């Protein structure tokens, strides 16, 4: 039965690989930071913001990331400056690389 198990694993691995490659091709340029930023957002920001267009529930007190991205005056620099300071939760602050990734993700939502 061991051989059979290994074939199943290989098949799952190939499917995951195919998904990764496919996703990378869809967004050839920015996929790394955007994907990383999305992961961070879904972990740390999702309780207060609608971080993805597919997310149904959010708070009325905060703008969704898509709404932030859609504003004409939203720039990478502004987002960087804002996120360099804690907000929402006093003790939570993103590190430099995480800020880059989250900024890339938010800007990827620009319509
Ligand atoms: C505890 C709730 C909370 C969490 C968690 C939170 N935010 Fe916020 N966020 C807010 C509130 C409230 C505002 C609006 C008031 C303000 O500017 O502080 C805001 C505003 C913002 C703005 C500025 C929007 C504007 O109007 O210009 C950005 C950008 C932002 N959040 C990004 C993030 C990111 C990225 C994360 C995750 C790393 C995050 N937020 C996590 C509550 C939160």
**Does residue 98 lie in a domain region?**
yes
pLDDT number for residue 93:
84
In a domain, 64, yes or no: yes
pLDDT in tens, 47-101: 899 999 888 776 677 999 999 999 999 999 999 999 999 998 888 889 889 999 9
Note whether residue 65 is domain-resident: yes
Which range of residues forms the domain containing residue 91?
30-108
Whether 17 is covered by a domain: the verdict is no
The answer to whether position 19 is within a domain reads no
Which of 108, 52, 44 minimizes the C-alpha distance to 76?
108
What CATH number does the domain containing 44 carry?
1.10.760.10
Q: Would you state the torsion angle of the CA atoms of residues 60, 61, 64, 65, taken in this order, to the nearest 10 degrees?
A: -170
In the reported structure, the alpha carbon of residue 9 is separated from the centroid of ligand 1 by a whole-number distance in angstroms of 41
Q: Give, for 33, the enclosing helix (H) or strand (E).
A: helix 31-44
Which of the listed residues 34, 38, 42, 48 should we mutate to test ligand 1's pocket, taking the one with most ligand atoms within 8 A of CB? Answer: 48
Q: Indicate whether 11 pLDDT > 90.
A: no
Is 74 contained in some domain? Answer: yes
From ligand 1's centre to the CA of 65, what distance in Å? 9
Compute, in angstroms, the gap from residue 49 CA to the centroid of ligand 1: 7
The answer to the question of residue 84 being in a domain is yes
Number of domains in the chain: 1
Predicted pLDDT at 35: 96
Is 5 a member of any domain?
no
Give the pTM: 0.77
């Amino acid at each position: 039965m061991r051989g059979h198990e290994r074939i199943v694993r290989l098949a799952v691995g190939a499917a995951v690989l195919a998904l990764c490659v496919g996703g990378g091709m869809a967004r050839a340029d920015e996929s790394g930071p955007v994907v990383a930023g999305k992961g961070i957002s879904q972990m740390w920001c999702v309780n207060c913001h609608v971080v993805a267009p597919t997310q149904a529930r959010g708070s009325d007190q905060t703008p969704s990331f898509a709404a932030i991205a859609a504003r004409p005056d939203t720039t990478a620099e502004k987002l960087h400056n804002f996120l360099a300071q804690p907000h929402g939760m006093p003790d939570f602050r993103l590190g430099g690389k995480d800020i880059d990734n989250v900024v890339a993700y938010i800007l990827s939502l620009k319509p």
